[in-house]
Amino acid sequence: MLIFWEQRLVFLATPKTGTTAIETALESLAAASIQRPPLLKHTSVESYRRFIGPYLEAASGEPFTVVALMREPRAWLGSWYRHRQRDDIVEAAKSTAHVTFDEFVRAYALDPRPEFAAVGSQAAFLDATNGQGLDRLFRYEEIGRFIDFLEERLGCEIILPRLNVSPAAPLDLSPETEDLVRRTMARDLALYASLD
């Protein structure tokens, strides 16, 4: 999470949407950069609106614009799968080295999910049940629009480094598993489709 005090802007770090590169590029411009522990780095919109937002707005006397990125849901699952294929995964139960992407997606659809497929949901991260959501949500696949927005708000050129890139891996799914993705991720897919 990055907080830009003077610009009254907050960037929430949706997992697996290039947040490490964004935080690296913009940390020096932010009044506050929360990158550790992951629980705080990846503060959801609901937690922000409940705990952090009221404090910032009370201290500044003004509302903050809250923005985030969202990745296409199937690609987001693919990113998690590839991320957990890395050799440096400390907890063996979270590794996907022993499963195919198809098996990973089928495990993601289970309730409860096994540890290697317990990666949450972008919709749960980005939607607030109290009705106070994000002010702007950008598609990760159109990151140029997000960078244009930031450059205008922050008044500077932004060049993102390429960081935290996951290893390549096949992301093939059977037709049955593709259908399972559509059912399991219906809320995520609807939110992504609603973005302009």
Buried b (16+ CB within 10 A) or exposed e, 117-147: bebebbbebbbbeeeebbeebbbbeebeebb
Looking at residue 90, its pLDDT comes to 81
Distance CA 100, CA 171 (A): 8
CB under 8 Å to 177, separation ≥6 — which residues? 102, 105, 106
Tell me the Cα Rg of the chain.
17
Residue 41 and residue 72 in contact, taking contact as beta carbons nearer than 8 Å: no
Residues in the chain: 196
pLDDT in tens, the chain (196 residues): 999 999 999 999 999 999 999 999 999 999 999 988 888 899 999 999 999 999 999 999 999 999 999 999 999 999 999 999 998 888 999 999 999 999 999 999 999 999 999 999 999 999 866 567 899 999 999 999 999 999 999 999 999 988 777 778 999 999 999 999 999 999 999 999 999 7
Residue whose tokens read 């999470």 = 1
Coil, helix or strand at residue 119: coil
DSSP state, residue 115: G
For residue range 65-93, what is the model confidence (pLDDT) as tens digits?
999 999 999 999 999 999 999 988 889 99
Q: What is the DSSP letter of 36?
A: S
Distance CA 65, CA 31 (A): 15
d(CA 161, CA 159): 7
Q: How many CB atoms lie within 10 A of CB 47?
A: 17
Q: Could you give the percent of the chain with pLDDT greater than 90?
A: 85
Among 70, 27, 21, 28, which Cα is nearest to 45's?
70
